[in-house]
Amino acid sequence: MTTKQEYIDALNRMVEVYDNLDGCMSAINIFNEGVHLLEGLVNEHFEEKAETNYEHFKDEIIQNVKYALAVVNGELKPCADTNCDECEFKGSGKCVERVKEWLKKPHKKKTYKLSQFEYDLIQTYRGGNTDCNLSDRRILRELKDKGYFKCVGYDTKIHDVLEACEVREDGNC
């Protein structure tokens, strides 16, 4: 990891080189080194960290699940309302430890498997509001009522579907 002073020094060198730039290769090389150092800073500073299950579900845990939670088909459920055979943490006898491990793991986004027609249709909404749900669009809502978009919930954001969808060959989710 580069120190703050190294970045300041690189910026000062770049300013000095820019002020004296006359086509000299050594000046251009110093300038390029500074640019690469700053590029490293930007990449380091804005490095995307994978969202954990805790970060993804924290509001839902606080509002709905409270204390003991279960995970069934990728969705949070209160442990008391869940059959152990349906829960992802079953069979260990150590549910609390497995829940803690699961909360720390990177969140895996659901993949929405769409028919070619569904995919082509939902693509027409790619430039719209990122907070728009499937149910906010009359055509999509009516098609879902008729059996299309089986793998997508009414309250799912269109933007989320577009980010994590794939076209399926058969008729299954």
pTM, rounded to two decimals? 0.48
What's the rounded Cα separation, in Å, for the pair 69 and 72?
10
Q: Residues 80-107: pLDDT tens digits?
A: 888 888 888 887 678 888 888 888 988 8
Instruction: Give the pLDDT mean for 23-50.
Output: 72
Q: Is residue 54 classed exposed, middle or buried when 0-12, 13-18 and 19+ CB atoms within 10 A define those classes?
A: middle
Q: Residues 4-29: pLDDT tens digits?
A: 677 777 777 777 777 666 667 777 77
For CA atoms 113, 114, 116, 120, give the dihedral sign. negative
Q: Residues 134-146: pLDDT tens digits?
A: 889 999 999 999 9
